[in-house]
Chain A
Amino acid sequence: MRYLFSILWKDQSRIHLLWAVLGTMIGFILLLSGIHFYDNINKVLVSNKDLLDPEYIILNKKVNIGRTLGFGNGGFSEKEIGEIEEQPFTQRVAPFISNEFPISAFTRSAQFPNFYTELFFEAVPDEFIDVKSDQWSWTEGQDFIPVILPQDYLNLYNFGFAQSQGLPQIPKEMISMVSFSVKLKGRTETATYPGKIIGFSNRINSILVPYDFLTWANNTFGYLEKTDPSRVILVANDPTDPAIISFIEDKGYDTIRERLKSSRINIILKFILSFLVLIAAIIIGLAFLIFLLSLQLIISRSADKIRRLSMLGFHPREISMPYIIVLLGLLATVTGASLLITSLLANIMTRQASVLSLDFSGKLTPLVYIVSIGLVFLLFILNGTAILLSTRKLCR
């Protein structure tokens, strides 16, 4: 083998190979850091679900002057809901239902100042609700009504109202201890139940009661005219689907823009990263060609020697070995160096991200290793086969 090496690698120009190695390395680093970055961003988005929560989208119709004056309908008709349901991006959709009778709430407690307010309730099916609680249910005859308030309400109280009025801030856990009564007023009969706040929703900006409760209460007490639901909640297959935004805009619907912003960020990010991956793929492809061509050049320069070796009884596979070993060495170097540089870059990224209080991992994600090993294996197989074939062609 020593002799084969010195015969076949003597006087060979290695500058082409060096370029090929450099090119492959740049391609690898771009690709691997792209993957690492993408994976981390995805993890951040997933772990901040309560913040972004993109797949649940609440739609309402825009409030305009015409509606204020009583023209047009502010609610979603059954036809419109059916249309939303038929959109390819929609997984599930449900309208909000609301009370069809007056409701009021009041407190009589020593710890809290007394208050009285008119109130509304809305309900959506349980699967759309982000608060998980075993108290979230209703069976007729139950002795309290579970209520979910928007997180924003609590924030508004704690950071706005309580602060300015000199009232105590209330932690989430204490809220359930606040006792208040809910009065349901039908046309003829009324009923009073204790209410209990069992949680706060980030997702739905409304005063929620269990769906079963509200349907029962509407049947029992309802006498006001039934109106179309003013809001619908939908679960999107892919919340980053740009079709959602254009559908909403076409129909003149409205949604909480902030929520869709994350999906916009996601779209832009995906676009940039897929562009990066594309560039990396092109670079790797070109580098692969240079690799292939320089190996072919080296082999054809050695054509006489290869023929001679085969005349002495060396099998094409044995003759290819010096080339394949060098190839393996080069690819291993490329992979090792790229992984090293990528993890350096990942460290820098982590430091930059922590400034933005994003929690990136300094450790490369497993996918980076899988991709680099898979790719290097592919390159090895392709180049190795090319070497074998062209050596074999020269043998007699």
Chain B
Amino acid sequence: MNFRLEKLIPLPMADIPNRKSDFWEADSFTFQQGKHYLVEAASGKGKTSLLSIMYGLRKDYSGKLFLDETDAGTLSIKRWSEIRKNQISYIFQGLELFDDLSAIDNILLKNNITGIKNSDDIKRMAEQLDIADSLAKKCRFLSFGQKQRVAMIRALCMPFDFLFADECFSHIDRKNSEEAMKLIIDECASRDAGLILTSLGNSFHTFENRILL
């Protein structure tokens, strides 16, 4: 699946004078499946807005968004929920974990929809990210950095054509971040999926495409 943006601007962004961003000014931009994109900008420049629009959570934009050849504005709730189950995975900046469930239950909630990973796969990923010991704990008792890694594993427990990672390393130390990046890149490669990663601008990984907002 590819995304094509045509003069797409989130409405709150449209009002900001002197945006000076090639990306927002461009007539058309395409995110291609299989390629990796780094979206860099300071806070409040519309990174999360962009991903939310592309994930169907926000409709407040001008211009057009196409998922392959389909206008995103015409997609039904039903179609969006299918896309979110099988085509786009999202590591939310706000994590969106259920505090009352244990870490493993949060992951299984997602994994059980498609059953793509078995318990060994999940355990291996948890070990790679150094949170295997915390899986049985309720999320409310985990640190934000641990939660970020739980959210990451959850996002990998589904088939997808694109993975959105919204500042997902902000509270993770350098070593674990590198492990996590490796895991994400591997998982994307195994699915031939695209990756859009947003960052405040101190990336440790070289991306083929960099977008400055």
* Complex interface: chain A residues within 8 A of B86 (CB): 313
Shortest B65–chain A CB gap in Å is: 16
B26-34, B95-103, B169-177: which lies at the A interface?
B95-103
Q: At the interface, yes or no: B42 with Cβ under 8 Å from chain A?
A: no
Cβ 8 A contact of A316, one of B77, B100, B101, B108? B77
Stretch of A55-63, A145-153, A303-311, A348-356 at the chain-chain interface: A303-311
User: How far, in whole Å, are A312 and B100 apart by their CA atoms in the complex?
Assistant: 17
**B112 proximal to A (CB < 8 A):** yes
A334: min CB distance to chain B, Å: 29
| Shortest Cβ distance from residue B112 to the other chain A in the assembled complex, whole angstroms | 7
Query: Chain B residues with Cβ under 8 A from A311's Cβ?
Result: 55, 57, 84, 90, 92, 96
Closest to B155 in A: A312
Residues of A near B96 (CB, < 8 A) are 308, 311-312
Question: By the criterion CB–CB under 8 Å, are A3 and B78 in contact?
Answer: no
Say yes or no: B112 contacts A3, CB within 8 Å.
yes
Total interface residues on B, using CB and 8 Å?
Answer: 24
Counted as pairs of residues, one from A and one from B, with CB atoms less than 8 Å apart, the total is 50
Q: How far is the CA of A67 from the CA of B115 in the complex (A)?
A: 100
Residue of B nearest to A308 (CB): B96
Q: Does A315 contact B98, Cβ atoms closer than 8 Å?
A: no
Residue A392 is within 8 A (CB to CB) of chain B in the complex: yes
Least CB distance, B162 to chain A, in whole angstroms:
14
Pair B84/A312 contact, Cβ less than 8 Å: yes
Q: Say what secondary structure dominates the interface of chain B.
A: helix
Residue contact B84 to A305, C-beta cutoff 8 Å: no
A223 at the B interface (CB under 8 A):
no
Q: Which among B55, B77, B112 has the highest number of chain A CB atoms within 10 Å?
A: B77
B86 to chain A, nearest CB (A): 8
B105 at the A interface (CB under 8 A): yes
| A314: interface (CB < 8 Å) | yes
B14 at the interface (CB under 8 A from A): no
Residue of B nearest to A392 (CB): B77
Cβ–Cβ < 8 Å partners of B92 in chain A: 311
A216 to chain B, nearest CB (A): 84
Q: Does A188 contact B (CB under 8 A)?
A: no
Query: Assuming A311-B84, A312-B110, is B57 touching A396 (CB within 8 A)?
Result: yes
Q: Which of A336-385 contact B (CB under 8 A)?
A: none
Which A residues from 3 to 18 make CB contacts under 8 A with B? 3-4, 6-7, 10-11
Most chain B CB atoms below 10 A, which of A7, A11, A395:
A7
Q: Which residues of A contact B57 (CB under 8 A)?
A: 311, 396
Contacts of A315 in B (CB 8 A): 77-78, 81
What are the residues of chain B within 8 A of A316 when measuring CB–CB? Answer: 77, 81
* B85 at the binding interface (Cβ < 8 Å): yes
Q: Which of A155-207 contact B (CB under 8 A)?
A: none
User: Do residues B101 and A313 form an inter-chain contact, with CB atoms below 8 A?
Assistant: no
Q: For the complex, give the distance between the alpha carbons of A11 and B98 in Å.
A: 13
Structural contact, B77 and A312, CB atoms closer than 8 A: no
Could you give, for residues 94-134 of chain B, a 1 whenever the CB lies within 8 Å of some chain A CB and a 0 otherwise? 00101011000100111011000000000000000000000
Judging by beta carbons under 8 Å apart, are A308 and B98 in contact? yes
B56 contacts the other chain (Cβ, under 8 Å)? Answer: yes
B77 touches A395 (CB 8 A): yes
**CA distance in complex: A313, B84 (Å):** 4
Interface residues in B69-95 (C-beta closer than 8 Å to A): 77-78, 81-86, 90, 92
User: How long is the Cα–Cα vector from A313 to B56 in the complex, in angstroms?
Assistant: 11
Given A311-B90, A396-B57: A3 and B81 interface contact (C-beta under 8 Å):
no
Which residue of B has the minimal Cβ distance to A395?
B77
Closest to A315 in B: B81
B109–A312 touching, CB < 8 Å:
yes
How far is B101's CA from A392's CA once the two chains are assembled, in angstroms? 23
Q: Which residue of B lies closest to A10 (CB)?
A: B100
**Contact, CB under 8 Å: B81 / A6:** no
Q: Closest residue of chain A to B98, judged by CB?
A: A7
8 new A-B pairs (CB below 8 Å) besides A308-B98, A395-B77? A3-B109, A7-B98, A310-B77, A311-B96, A312-B84, A313-B83, A313-B85, A315-B81
Query: Can you name 15 A-B pairs with beta carbons within 8 Å?
Result: A3-B105, A4-B109, A6-B101, A7-B98, A7-B101, A7-B109, A10-B100, A310-B81, A311-B55, A311-B57, A311-B90, A312-B110, A313-B81, A316-B77, A396-B57
- What residues of chain B have their CB less than 8 Å away from a CB belonging to chain A? 55-57, 77-78, 81-86, 90, 92, 96, 98, 100-101, 105, 108-110, 112-113, 158
- Name the 9 nearest CB pairs between A and B, nearest first: A313-B84, A313-B85, A315-B81, A3-B109, A308-B96, A396-B57, A313-B81, A10-B100, A7-B98
